[in-house]
A and B are shown apart, each in its own frame.
Chain A
Amino acid sequence: MIAILQTELVKLFSQKRTYYGLAAILVIELLIMIGAWAQGTEILDVLLENLTDNFIMSGSLLNGHLVLYIVLNSLWFNLPLIVMIIVSGLLTSEYKDKTIQTVLLQSVNKRNFILAKYGVALVFTLLVVALLFTTASLSAYSFFGTGDLITYLNGLNFFESGEAFNRIVWAFLLGTLLMICYSFLSITLAVFFKDQTVTWIICAFVLIINGLLVKMDLGFMNYWFYSKVTDTWQYFFYFEVPWPYVWHNGGLLIFYALLIATVGVWRFVKKDVG
């Protein structure tokens, strides 16, 4: 199993598309930084004109924390799309090139093979989020410094610099769980659809539908439905963090990730490859 996982990593990092995907993430990150640098101060001044007359803010409000918060907001849609495209390609490219036949013509266990795909999806997702966090925080704090963080969720919320950083780290951790869910989902979709383009379209469709459902009131399903827990990372930017919901939703994301992977493994093992 470990040997298959290692070979899957070799395959992943031997393909150009992996590096294009990583480069795309860095480009988006760079564009956000440039946007914040070019227009951020102006927009904040207009928004907070009255407040700054009555309150004393520590440091510039356009600071590394705010930029990281914007990165979080922007990338929780773009990032899953890139991750899903690259990760689903781990399997769809094997179907397209028929290398999946070559592998399964060796004495390789089908279950171990597909489990290794989920394993490498997990490793890659963790790597992408770590890369995003490292590069975004290094560049954001280097260019914009630190200061208090202001967010607008159920009203304006202010966080002191130290607390702001803790909340951003928590948001990244929760976001990682969400990314793992999406990543596993893309492999499962690849198991079902096999075709690269179809899988990509379904992945984009899932993200769009998710974006719509997250804003709808689904009654008691609000507490259990997958789409409704995808914005849990935002709870860390409310004035009071609703920890019971955070733990519940975090657990639910892990449950969904395992469920999605189980369905994919079951289907792959059951179905003929040829």
Chain B
Amino acid sequence: MIKADSLSKSYGNVRALHKVSFNIAKGEISGILGPNGAGKTTLFKILTGLITPDSGSFSITSDKQKKIGAIIENPALYEYLSAHKNLQVLAKMQGLKLSKDQVNEQLTLVGLPTNRHDPVRNFSLGMKQRLGIATALLNNPDALILDEPFLGLDPLGMQKLRELIIRLAKERNLSVLVSSHQLEELSKVCQNLYLMQNGEITSSGSTQEILSKAAFQYRILGINLSQSETLKTLKATITSNTAWVTVARNDVSALIQQLVNEGVEILEVQPETNLNELYAQV
């Protein structure tokens, strides 16, 4: 369990973090959503002991030697060493002796090939993210912090990383805290979300609650959309097979039913978020 109580940090006159509090239970994945400069990285650096808060406190319930594993900003690895060597070096530094099989096990856990012995500078960003998670998981911590893990990943890379995070939280009963400025990605992995702006948590709740505040319009992919009178009445923007319409969350089911009744063949309905409006709303 990760518990933060009123954490604050300033750099000179700049307030980076102001009275931030939250709880993350074991096995729970929570997300921190906020624009660049919101204070997410500062918060993570405090939780991992890299910097000290000006006031407030935090605790991580764990009896392990290493309580928390983390990737802050980017997965920083020894680019001139292989993935195996990176894990061995970082393990040895904390007194762990990993056998070759244990290193392979760790690599397999995060979905990396065990037969790559070239320097990690040749790895893709997605592979580096996975290796970063493998280094964070060394010494079996009870909590995991991932700062912007989806940044720069392609859709397939994002999907694999999502699956990995969910699997780790479930199998290892980890408390996981993930930050991003992409609501869509966070909503796919997190049970709870915290909105952060200007160093403060401005809103929090279950992912569904936050999503309901954020979904201002829906993108409908289908056939015969231009024939729909309902969409015209709602002043939807319609292209050949896509329509964007603004309706209340509770009215989405009725809308879909009406469109089906009008002979529209619906292929996909996707909520689209406008983070600026979400931040403004909270």
Contacts and interface: CB of A to CB of B under 8 A. Distances in A.
Interface of A: 3-4, 6-7, 10-11, 14-16, 97-108, 113, 272-274
A108 B93 contact: yes
Given A14-B81, A272-B51, A274-B45, A106 B76 contact: no
A107 B139 contact: yes
B172 interface: no
B178 interface: no
Contact of A103 (B52, B66, B90): B90
Contact of A98 (B66, B76, B93, B94): B76
Contacts of B75: 102
B139 A105 contact: no
Shortest 9 CB-CB contacts between residues of A and residues of B? A98-B76, A274-B50, A274-B45, A107-B66, A272-B51, A274-B51, A107-B94, A102-B76, A106-B94
A90 to B, nearest CB: 12
A97 B74 CA distance: 10
Interface in B114-140: 132, 135-136, 138-139
B90 A106 contact: yes
Contacts of A113: 93
Given A98-B73, A104-B49, A4 B136 contact: no
B76 A97 contact: yes
B212 interface: no
A189 to B, nearest CB: 22
Contacts of B89: 7, 10-11
A230 to B, nearest CB: 34
Contacts of B138: 106
Contacts of B76: 97-102
A7 B93 contact: yes
B78 A105 contact: no
Nearest to A97: B76
Nearest to A104: B50
Contacts of B132: 102
Contact of B90 (A14, A16, A102, A273): A102
B93 A106 contact: yes
A99 to B, nearest CB: 5
A101 B81 contact: no
A102 B94 contact: no
Interface string B84-122: 010001101111000000000000000000000000000
